[in-house]
């Protein structure tokens, strides 16, 4: 007969944390939420990649595009840009993130003096950039002749056919810096001259790049911003086990910092083959996660194939119907505990620590703290991020309430048959494993994420912990009954409607 596990399959709502002694040092401002997301040898070296808040956005069409990747990296996390699109468009999204903020930004919006205002407006519509350098050949490294910003023209007063050379700010009137200037010096020049952008030019007058005032301001507003060694935003990208030989090189060339195989069930030879090819092709230098799994066997199989982190969870997502369609999976709380135990055993045997990512099952903010306490190093979220302005889906009014569209990668709408490692010829989905839905609109990512992280920090303080690792060592959990779950919310009162406060 089949093997039957004695442990029950439990969800996060079935647990509560028991407080520990909170010392004087246990205050939210002292809590460190940084966490490693790729494997490393503990005690000898640090992880090659850490995030400053323990959340990443899901590999989903409705969640993670370049806009989400920029917003989340600025707040300290990572997005995995969805892979269920053409290789070219996914690589283009990665490039947009890497170019968004680099201190010294290469210009990708350039024209010649013979261009017209109509061309300027077309560039602005296509790229969103209002600053357009004018070079002799219209390239990013041509001889700089001038700059056009939105202050140089008025759409209502200027003929669209007017040539750029007639209204641009010419080079001899520009404030600029020579190649070799430091970022700190460039920012000082910007402040001294009260300008919004500073061109950097070479000895022979060619454009090298631009430094923007807004980048300085935005960095000050986002102290946890996640940057690489070149001060570019960090981003991840999703891949599948079908076209990886073509997709991976394109994503690496575009600048992706970390990859992750996207699959509903990762315990497969197809993932093993994908991991081994990537590690062999790039001499182990490309970081790639794998999954999803829910048990020790799946964890060890993918780690031994070369995975840098493991995603945990099958069927726990709010739009996922894998469990009811296939009857496979495990309650997310139980899955995280099982795989965390396997991770710790692997570390004791080898000295190598492989982070695990909890993917799915998060309904309330406190569930995030629970999954970290149970052993997860970081959390992948779909529904949570889909609600925000920065997600790529439409904001709609439905029954008098603002919502955003949200659909699963296993839905017919996504048409993402490549994520199902069943070895078939592919090309279509035999049945759906995800639904098409709405989620309540919640506003800006930063405002909501700051609140969620504040809750995590406060709970960690109540547990006497100042880091995620310390929380995992000290956390005490209790299983709750159905009636105690009811008791945990507002009950036996008539609640007032929330009043607007000025």
Q: Catalytic residue numbers?
A: 320, 419
What single string gives the DSSP state of each residue in 47-62? Answer: -S-EESSSEEE-S-TT
Cis peptide leading into residue 292 (ω within 30°): yes
CA 350 to chain centre: 30
- 1, with CB counted inside 10 A (0-12, 13-18, 19+), is exposed
**Number of H-type helices and E-type strands within the chain:** 15, 23
CA distance 226 to 253: 20
Report how far apart, in Å, the C-alpha atoms of 264 and of each of 269, 337, 390, 397 are: 14, 19, 25, 31
Q: Are 484 and 24 in contact (CB under 8 A)?
A: no
Report how far apart, in Å, the C-alpha atoms of 316 and of each of 209, 301, 313 are: 46, 22, 6
- Give the single-character DSSP code of 232: P
Nearest alpha-carbon partner for 281 in 310, 301, 238, 251: 251
- 330, with CB counted inside 10 A (0-12, 13-18, 19+), is buried
Query: What angle (nearest 5°) sits at the alpha carbon of residue 477, between those of residues 336 and 334?
Result: 25
Q: Are 147 and 134 in contact (CB under 8 A)?
A: yes
CA distance 217 to 229: 20
CA distance 60 to 69: 12
Percent of residues in the chain assigned helix, strand, coil, to nearest 5: 35, 20, 45
Q: In sequence order, which ranges of 426-490 are alpha helices (DSSP H)?
A: 445-462, 468-474, 482-487
Assigned token pair, 109: 């919006």
CA distance 238 to 261: 6
Pairing of strands 15-18, 476-479: antiparallel
Q: Are 90 and 81 in contact (CB under 8 A)?
A: yes
Report how far apart, in Å, the C-alpha atoms of 137 and of each of 144, 198, 203, 241, 418 are: 9, 20, 18, 43, 43
Nearest alpha-carbon partner for 57 in 70, 44, 45: 70
């Amino acid at each position: 007969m089949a093997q039957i596990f004695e442990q029950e399959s439990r969800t996060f709502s079935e647990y509560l944390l028991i407080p520990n002694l909170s010392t004087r040092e246990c205050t939210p401002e002292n809590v460190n939420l940084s966490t490693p997301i790729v494997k490393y040898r503990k005690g000898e070296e640090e992880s090659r990649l850490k995030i400053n808040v323990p959340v990443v956005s899901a590999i989903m069409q409705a969640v993670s595009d370049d806009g989400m990747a920029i917003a989340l990296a600025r707040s300290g996390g990572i997005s995995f840009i969805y892979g269920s699109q053409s290789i070219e468009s996914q690589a283009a999204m990665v490039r947009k993130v890497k170019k968004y903020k680099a201190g010294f930004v290469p210009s990708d919006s350039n024209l010649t003096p013979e261009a017209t205002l109509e061309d300027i407006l077309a560039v602005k519509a296509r790229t969103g950039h209002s600053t357009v350098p004018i070079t002799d050949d219209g390239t990013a490294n041509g001889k700089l002749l001038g700059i056009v910003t939105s202050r140089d023209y008025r759409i209502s007063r200027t003929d669209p056919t007017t040539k750029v050379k007639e209204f641009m700010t010419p080079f001899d009137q520009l404030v600029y810096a020579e190649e070799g200037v430091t970022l700190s010096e460039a920012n000082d020049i910007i402040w001294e001259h009260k300008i919004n952008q500073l061109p950097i030019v070479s000895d022979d007058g060619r454009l090298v790049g631009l430094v923007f005032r807004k980048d300085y301001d935005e960095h000050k507003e986002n102290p946890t911003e996640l940057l690489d060694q070149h001060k570019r935003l960090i981003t991840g990208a999703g891949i599948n086990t079908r076209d990886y030989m073509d997709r991976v090189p394109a994503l690496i060339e575009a600048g992706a910092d970390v990859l992750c195989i996207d699959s509903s069930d990762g315990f497969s030879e197809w993932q093993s083959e994908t991991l081994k090819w990537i590690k062999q092709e790039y001499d182990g230098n490309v970081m790639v996660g794998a999954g999803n799994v829910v048990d020790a066997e799946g964890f060890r199989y993918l780690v031994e194939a070369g995975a840098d982190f493991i995603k945990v969870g099958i069927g726990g997502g709010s739009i996922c119907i894998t469990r009811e369609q296939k009857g496979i999976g495990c309650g997310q709380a139980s899955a995280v505990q099982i795989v965390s135990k396997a991770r710790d055993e692997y570390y004791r045997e080898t000295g190598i620590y492989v982070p695990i990512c909890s993917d799915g099952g998060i309904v309330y903010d406190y569930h995030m703290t629970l999954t970290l306490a149970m052993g997860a190093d970081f959390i992948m979220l779909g529904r949570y991020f889909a609600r925000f302005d920065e997600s790529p889906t439409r904001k709609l009014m439905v029954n008098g309430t603002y919502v955003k569209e949200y659909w699963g990668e296993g839905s017919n709408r996504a048409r993402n048959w490549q994520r199902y490692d069943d070895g078939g010829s592919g090309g279509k989905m035999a049945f759906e494993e995800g639904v098409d839905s709405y989620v309540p609109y919640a506003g800006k990512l930063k405002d909501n994420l700051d609140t969620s992280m504040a809750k995590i920090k406060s709970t960690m303080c109540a547990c006497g912990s100042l880091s995620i690792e310390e929380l995992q060592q000290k956390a005490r959990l209790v299983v709750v009954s159905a009636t105690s779950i009811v008791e945990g919310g507002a009950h036996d009162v008539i609640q007032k409607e929330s009043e607007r406060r000025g």
